[in-house]
């Protein structure tokens, strides 16, 4: 296994900041400490990552990771990919949760001045026009994940296509009364997945019963929660004869809540009601949940790699990458004997 800056610090019995100063020939280290660190570096055959050399010239080696206030497992997977990439770098991650899109510009400005961050990762939120034109955000590198703006590097999933494929899967199984458990439509992913749902229904010439469209009622919560899925599923089940035969939950965590509500009513998936989620979180496989897989950890890794490039290299052209989600079919939509995987 390749040695990291943390291994050096542990063996030399110093902090990682001291190791960083030694590697970057900072004068503020005693000769005794410097020699001890360099001996460990030599013994472990440590090779500094090229990004680490560039980062040492920055002011704070800190990155602002900005997410909607109510974080979900999706953001944890993104963060896991980021941390994996930063394992051998002396970089701090500062978490920032934002309640409402109207707060994005002011909260970013405040935290940039407060923490003097070197870069920003902004997740799942639409860039306000005033931020797009603000000169401050032209100076500080920023990369978007799970959203898009032509002015900034971005890594996202084609959520419109994901919503379309999820809904079409249910249509292909013969369902026509298909409900959607959505989040707050100010969320970019929620809005796009809902658009895909509508497109699939329209292309199949199926009329959408507005009673089957459910979304969170809160203005300040995105709605990607288990509680949200549970409550909305109960509302659908209370429709009696008008209830859906299939449900598309726009996140796995909402689908987990829906599964609980279905079980409480003595019903089963897929015999009584089919269910599909979105994300393909780790728990979805043992639960047998059909889901739309998106490469969350990979997105995090690529996002931080691009941000590091921007922090060390000026005048890079804007880069965008869009991933296509993959349908993973399990027992909540098909009987066990008919389960397959398809893209």
Say how far apart CA 72 and CA 250 lie, in whole Å: 13
What mean pLDDT do residues 46-75 have? 68
Q: The domain 5-48 belongs to what CATH superfamily?
A: lambda repressor-like DNA-binding domains (1.10.260.40)
Q: Which residue has the higher pLDDT, 96 or 293?
A: 293
Q: How confident is the model at residue 70, as a pLDDT?
A: 57
Q: The domain 159-294+327-342 belongs to what CATH superfamily?
A: Response regulator (3.40.50.2300)
Q: Where in the chain is the domain with CATH 1.10.260.40?
A: 5-48
Report in angstroms the alpha-carbon separations of 274 from 124, 173, 182, 270, 334: 28, 9, 16, 4, 8
- pLDDT surpassing 70 at residue 336: no
What mean pLDDT do residues 178-192 have? 91
Q: Which residue has the higher pLDDT, 339 or 47?
A: 47
Strand 119-123 vs strand 246-249: parallel, antiparallel, or unpaired?
A: unpaired
With cut-offs at 50, 70 and 90, classify the pLDDT of residue 267: very high
Say how far apart CA 3 and CA 126 lie, in whole Å: 39
Read off the pLDDT of residues 280-330 as tens digits, 9 standing for 90 and up.
999 999 999 999 999 998 999 999 999 988 888 878 899 999 999 999 999
What mean pLDDT do residues 321-341 have? 78
Class of residue 41 by CB neighbours under 10 A (exposed 0-12, middle 13-18, buried 19+): buried
Token reading at 40: 């460990």
With H, G, I as helix, E, B as strand and everything else as coil, classify residue 213: strand
Class of residue 126 by CB neighbours under 10 A (exposed 0-12, middle 13-18, buried 19+): middle
Provide, rounded to the nearest whole percent, the portion of the chain with pLDDT above 90. 48
Q: Which residue has the higher pLDDT, 105 or 318?
A: 318
Token reading at 167: 């809904």
With cut-offs at 50, 70 and 90, classify the pLDDT of residue 56: low
Q: How confident is the model at residue 49, as a pLDDT?
A: 59
Q: Where in the chain is the domain with CATH 3.40.50.2300?
A: 62-157+296-323, 159-294+327-342
With cut-offs at 50, 70 and 90, classify the pLDDT of residue 202: very high
Match 């739309």 to its residue by tokens: 292
Range of lowest pLDDT (19-33, 251-265, 318-332)? 19-33
Read off the pLDDT of residues 121-176 as tens digits, 9 standing for 90 and up.
998 888 877 776 777 777 888 999 988 888 899 999 999 999 999 999 999 999 99
Report in angstroms the alpha-carbon separations of 36 from 2, 23, 56: 20, 12, 20
With cut-offs at 50, 70 and 90, classify the pLDDT of residue 97: confident
CB 180 within 8 A of CB 250: yes
CB 78 within 8 A of CB 302: no
What does pLDDT average to over the chain? 86
103: nearest Cα among 69, 52, 60, 72: 69
- pLDDT surpassing 60 at residue 11: yes
What mean pLDDT do residues 62-68 have? 86
Q: How confident is the model at residue 226, as a pLDDT?
A: 92
Say how far apart CA 110 and CA 247 lie, in whole Å: 42
Say how far apart CA 243 and CA 266 lie, in whole Å: 15
- The alpha carbon dihedral of 279, 175, 341, 270 has a sign of positive
Asked if CATH classification 2.60.40.10 holds for the domain at 62-157+296-323, the reply, yes or no, is no
CB 67 within 8 A of CB 124: yes
Measured from the Cβ of residue 231, the count of other Cβ atoms closer than 10 Å reads 18
Read off the pLDDT of residues 216-245 as tens digits, 9 standing for 90 and up.
876 556 788 899 999 999 999 999 999 999
Q: How confident is the model at residue 174, as a pLDDT?
A: 95
Beta strands of the chain (E only): which ranges?
62-68, 92-98, 119-123, 142-145, 153-157, 178-181, 213-214, 246-249, 274-279, 290-293, 320-323, 326-328, 341-342
What mean pLDDT do residues 189-213 have? 96
């Amino acid at each position: 296994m390749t040695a990291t800056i943390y291994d050096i610090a542990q063996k030399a019995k110093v902090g990682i900041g001291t190791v960083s100063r030694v590697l970057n020939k900072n004068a503020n280290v005693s000769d005794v400490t410097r020699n001890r660190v360099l001996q460990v570096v030599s013994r472990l055959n440590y090779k500094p990552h090229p990004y680490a050399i560039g980062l040492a010239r920055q002011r704070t080696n800190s990155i602002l990771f900005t997410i909607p206030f109510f974080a979900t497992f999706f953001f944890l997977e993104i963060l896991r990919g980021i941390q994996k990439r930063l394992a051998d770098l002396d970089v701090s991650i500062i978490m920032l949760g934002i309640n409402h899109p109207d707060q994005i510009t002011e909260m970013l400005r405040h935290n940039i001045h407060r923490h003097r961050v070197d870069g920003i990762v902004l997740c799942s939120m639409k860039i306000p026009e005033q931020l797009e034109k603000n000169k401050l955000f032209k100076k500080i590198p920023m990369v978007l994940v799970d959203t898009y703006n032509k002015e900034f590097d971005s890594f996202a999933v084609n959520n419109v296509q994901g919503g379309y494929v999820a809904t079409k899967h249910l249509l292909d199984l013969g369902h026509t009364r298909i409900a959607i458990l959505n989040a707050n439509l100010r969320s970019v992913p929620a809005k796009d997945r809902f658009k895909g749902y509508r497109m699939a229904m329209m292309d199949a010439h199926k009329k959408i019963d507005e009673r089957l469209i459910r979304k969170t009622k809160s203005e300040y919560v995105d709605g990607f929660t288990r509680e949200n899925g549970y409550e909305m599923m109960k509302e659908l089940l209370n429709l009696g004869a008008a209830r859906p035969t299939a449900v598309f939950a726009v996140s796995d965590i909402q689908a987990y809540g829906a599964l609980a509500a279905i079980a409480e009513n003595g019903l089963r998936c897929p015999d009584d009601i089919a269910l599909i989620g979105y994300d393909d979180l780790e728990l979805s496989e043992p639960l047998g949940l059909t889901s739309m897989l998106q490469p969350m950890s990979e997105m995090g890794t690529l996002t931080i790699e691009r941000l590091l490039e921007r922090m060390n290299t000026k005048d890079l052209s804007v880069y965008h990458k869009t991933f296509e989600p993959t349908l993973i079919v399990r027992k909540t939509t098909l009987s066990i004997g008919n389960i397959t995987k398809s893209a």
